[in-house]
C-alpha cells in the first residue's frame, strides 16, 4: 500500500510520480525498509515495478469501491508474488537479519506478497481512500471503530480541520 502512494494526485492526468527514475525506486526500497543496502535498479525493472504498483493500486482501489477486480492486475501481482524472494540469514553475531544478495526484482516480490496478504487477508475490508477531495492516497484503517477518513492526520486530516476552523471564523 505504501508503494501505491508513490503515485500521488491521481485525479490529475498525469498525477505526481514520486519514483520517476530507477534511482528513485532504489531510494524507495531503502526508505520503505525493504533493504538496508542500496540495490541497482535497471530501467526495465523500474518499468515493471511501476506496472506492479499500478496493478496493486487498481486492486486496492477496486476493493474500496467494491468494483469487480481487474483480472490483468491480479495476474501481474500473482506473477511477482510467485517469484522467489531474497534469502535471509542471521548476521555473524546472530543478532540481526540480513538479506542475501537482494536484487530489485527480488525486493518487488516482497511488495507483491504484501499485496496478496493484504488483499486476500482479513483486513482487505479495512482499505479506504482518503476523504480529502484532492488526495487519492489509500490507507488501512486499523482503528477499532473503523472510523478513519484520512491518509494521514498530519497531511490531510489537519488541513481539513484548518479549513473547517477558517469557515467557522468566516461565519
Ligand atoms: Zn490524503
107-133 pLDDT tens trace: 999 999 999 999 999 999 999 999 998
Cα distances (angstroms) measured from residue 152 to each of 56, 122, 137: 20, 22, 9
State the distance from the centre of ligand 1 to the C-alpha of 98, rounded, in angstroms: 34
pLDDT reported for residue 136: 86
Give distance in angstroms: CA of 160 to centre of ligand 1.
10
- Residues 120, 118: Cα–Cα separation, whole Å: 6
pLDDT classification of 10: cutoffs 50, 70, 90:
confident
Greater pLDDT, 137 or 165: 137
Does residue 21 fall inside a structural domain?
A: yes
What's the average model confidence in pLDDT over 127-145?
A: 91
Q: Is residue 25 part of a domain?
A: yes
User: In the 3-class helix/strand/coil scheme, how is 22-46 assigned residue by residue?
Assistant: HHHHHHHHHHCCCCCCCCCCCHHHH
Helices and strands (H, E) in the chain, number of each type = 5, 6
Residue 139 lies in a domain: no
Residue 136: helix, strand or coil by DSSP?
Answer: coil
**How far, in Å, from the CA of 129 to the mean position of ligand 1?**
8
Asked if residue 158 is part of any domain, the answer here is no
CA of 32 to the centre of ligand 1 (A): 19
Range of the domain at 82: 3-124
- In the chain, how many domains are there? 1
Q: Which long-range contacts (CB under 8 A, 24 or more apart) does 13-16 make?
A: 15/136
Is 133 part of any domain?
no
Residue 123 to residue 111: CA distance in whole angstroms:
16
Region of 120 (left: φ > 0; alpha: ψ -120 to 50; beta: rest) is alpha
* Nearest Cα residue to 129 out of 141, 119, 118: 141
In a domain, 151, yes or no: no
pLDDT in tens, 15-43: 899 999 999 999 999 999 999 989 999 99
Confirm whether 129 is domain-assigned: no
* 149 within a domain of the structure (yes/no): no
Q: State residue 7's pLDDT score.
A: 92
Rounded distance between C-alpha atoms, residue 154 and residue 167, angstroms: 20
Amino acid at each position: 500500500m505504501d508503494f501505491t502512494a508513490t503515485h500521488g494526485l491521481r485525479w490529475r492526468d498525469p498525477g505526481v510520480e514520486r519514483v520517476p527514475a530507477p534511482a528513485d525506486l532504489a531510494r524507495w526500497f531503502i526508505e520503505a525498509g525493504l533493504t538496508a543496502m542500496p540495490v541497482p535498479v535497471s530501467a526495465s525493472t523500474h518499468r515493471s515495478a511501476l506496472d506492479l504498483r499500478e496493478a496493486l493500486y487498481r486492486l486496492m482501489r477496486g476493493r474500496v469501491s467494491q468494483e469487480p477486480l481487474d483480472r490483468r492486475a491480479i495476474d501481474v501481482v500473482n506473477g511477482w508474488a510467485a517469484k522467489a524472494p531474497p534469502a535471509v540469514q542471521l548476521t555473524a553475531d546472530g543478532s540481526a537479519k540480513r538479506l542475501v544478495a537482494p536484487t530489485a526484482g527480488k525486493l518487488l516480490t516482497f511488495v507483491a506478497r504484501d499485496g496478496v496478504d493484504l488483499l486476500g487477508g482479513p483486513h482487505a475490508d479495512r482499505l479506504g481512500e482518503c476523504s480529502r477531495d484532492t488526495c487519492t492516497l489509500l490507507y488501512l484503517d486499523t482503528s477499532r471503530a473503523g472510523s478513519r477518513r484520512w491518509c494521514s492526520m498530519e497531511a490531510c486530516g489537519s488541513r481539513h480541520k484548518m479549513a473547517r476552523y477558517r469557515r467557522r471564523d468566516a461565519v
